Amino acid sequence: MARDPRYDILFEPVKIGPVTARNRFFQVPHCTGMGSNWPRTHAEMRGQKAQGGWAVVCTEETMIHPSSDALPASSMRLWDDDDIPAFAAAADKVHEHGGLFGIELVHGGFSRSNRTSRMAPLAPSATPNKYPMRPQARAMDLHDIAELRRWHRAAAIRAKQAGADLVYVYAAHNIALPMHFLLPRYNRRNDSYGGRLENRVRLIRELIEDTKDAVGDTVAVALRFAVDERMGEAGLEWQKEGREVVAMLAELPDLWDVNVSGWEHDSKTSRFAQEGYQEDAVSFVKKLTSKPVVVVGRYTSPDAMVRVIRSGIADFIGAARPSIADPFLPRKIEEGRIEDIRECIGCNICISGNNTFVPMRCTQNPTMGEEWRRGWHPEELPARGSDARVLVIGAGPAGLEAARALGARGYDVTLADRARQPGGRVTQEAALPGLAAWARVRDWRLGQIAGMANVAMFMESAMSDRDVLGFGAPHVVLATGATWRRDGIGHANSKTIQGAGRSHVVGPEDVMAGRVTQGPVLIFDDDHGYMAGVLAEKLAAQGLAVTLVTPAAMVSEFTVLTLEQGFIQKRLLEMGVAIRQQRNLAAIEADHVELACIYTGKREQAAAATVVLVTARVSNDQLYHQLARRPDLMEAAGMKSLGVIGDCLSPQTIAAAVYDGHAYARELDAAEPDNPDVPYRREHMMPAPPARQQQGTT
């Protein structure tokens, strides 16, 4: 298909200092959980972005010195020449597909605890470390500042040697020394690097000048700058010093990459922010500089992208999460395949991977993180391995992805589900407050399946074991999901909670179906994900009195990893939800519950006309066991395999369910791996060059 001419502007080349980007799609620096620990994994992932049409593809934070040691986090390191090969591998992959490669140089200052280097963290003024119980940061003297500039310059030279086309100076997210020098609450100096704004900006200016001098006239220098901290007068504001900084440095960098700080604001989830949510703070920058500007805002709509360019907000559409969900987003727009874009749902499961120090994963894109170790490509699937038909039972996230990927491979697929609507838990959860974007998981797959003549879908089609055996499909895979427990068994309780069988005790499905109307409502959260918090929000919006009880120290504890825990707890408090933390649910009575302190066991009562248990889930795997225990009947019916995926296999995240469905579809009829105990390639550190190895001691 031909590209829609409305989007031609997105494919105009843009000059960035001495280099030229082939279009306006810019994958801004973003963490991956890969870093220097998984250099081949990182290189293959970045290369696929360039293949997908991103004109500029950047690394994540790249630490420049052991005094900025992020381990065990998997950030990249460019401490010495031994680190160059890891970056060269990624640069080669990006250049192979015509992209520009950018490296974001960072010194984390007091936001780094230096656990492995054991060096004292650095700060403009003596201050506690960002993380409690870690070494306090010492105040830098002028010698320290000169050393920082030297380290940064050396890292810039190494970046150029590795093949970088663009090198960053980083002053964003409140995790970098240049930003710490800028902010008065951290900078209490009275010398030429403190006090008035010109002095506090001095280090940023010097680092830009040093970097430009180091890389010469063939590599561009970018400044990533957070113009606003979303803290009001307590922090940097774009209308005040944020604007003044841009005006001071307007023509110095070759490119401005602007956003808001901290990371939880910059990568806000769709539950709390819509597409383009940063525009109020960043739209002024282009008016103050002639240099190209890149902005972010979880843009997935080509029409919104065109608006951003035509309205003069920016020259580039920056993206982290949308480029993860669909590395081929630019190419799909260019080829007139808008309906094929796999839109980011803004759930931040990608960030949770990075925050747990493993290669990231994506709810929408199950190939993310598997590009090198499994050889998976987001747009390419192997041809079918046989002419066998496949029956997929369950049209939730796992079943939909399995049917889609199997259909793309060329298999004849039948997808059956007992429900009236497809989507399973996705359809239920997307109706909850703020989660509407999650429906994209269902809708994209339904859209892809709709164009496949070899995939047939039947709703309101419950299947028994006899139905399955009589269907005659050689391959059957069950994706029948899971159900929330009603007995209270979970992390804190290994036995049924006393009174859990009472008529006023319900589960999340009842709340989602609108069957909870009697208050006061007590929600017991022993799941610690997003569910209890969003149910509390829904019920409070109905006008019910809600108390949320959790054994954890905070509401929705897991969502610390998705950067939204603070927003969730703030919203619940503003809505009047009563929160009882570090309390277990000991017993449920007719009109109240007994709560117990998790430390002392001391009891207290709380009124409850309805009790909602959000604890654990049970797999709906009865059909699987009915079939699996009769292999003789399966053989007689011509069944060659019986699979189980998604929540039916093990209750998990939506991202994990989609991954399960995709893995099943890819691996059907595939050859056995060389080592079935380790079904993917293991990443090993790249060895140091021989010359460097010889310098070691024995």
Catalytic residues: 31, 170, 173, 266
Residue of 188, 218, 192 whose CA lies nearest to 206: 192
Q: What are the phi and psi torsion angles at 37 (to 5°)?
A: -75, -30
3-state SS class at 245: helix
If DSSP states are collapsed to H, E and C, what string results for 386-401?
CCCCEEEECCCHHHHH
Cα angle 353, 355, 358; round to 5: 45
Classify residue 6 as exposed, middle or buried by CB count within 10 Å of its CB (0-12, 13-18, 19+): exposed
**Token representation of residue 622:** 């009865």
**Cα–Cα distance between 540 and 516 in angstroms, integer?**
11
**In this structure, what is the dihedral angle of CA atoms 568, 571, 576, 578, given to the nearest 10 degrees?**
20
**Cα–Cα distance between 235 and 693 in angstroms, integer?**
47
Going by the DSSP 8-state scheme, the letter that residue 290 receives in this structure is S
Residue of 170, 175, 247 whose CA lies nearest to 208: 170
3-state SS class at 595: strand
**Strand (E) or helix (H) holding 264:** helix 263-266
Q: Alpha carbon 344 to chain centroid distance?
A: 9
Q: What are the phi and psi torsion angles at 542 (to 5°)?
A: -80, -5
Distances (CA, A) of 553 to 130, 133, 599: 19, 18, 12
Q: How many helical (H) and strand (E) elements, i.e. helices and strands, does the chain have?
A: 25, 28
**Omega cis (within 30) before 366:** no
**Cα–Cα distance between 689 and 698 in angstroms, integer?**
17
Classify residue 116 as exposed, middle or buried by CB count within 10 Å of its CB (0-12, 13-18, 19+): exposed
**Token representation of residue 236:** 């940097």
If DSSP states are collapsed to H, E and C, what string results for 673-697?
CCCCCCCCCCCCCCCCCHHHHCCCC
**Token representation of residue 640:** 């060659």
Classify residue 435 as exposed, middle or buried by CB count within 10 Å of its CB (0-12, 13-18, 19+): buried
3-state SS class at 546: strand
Per DSSP, helices labelled H in 423-548 are 425-429, 439-450, 465-471, 508-512, 531-541
Per DSSP, helices labelled H in 464-564 are 465-471, 508-512, 531-541
Is 528 in contact with 558 (CB distance < 8 Å)?
A: yes
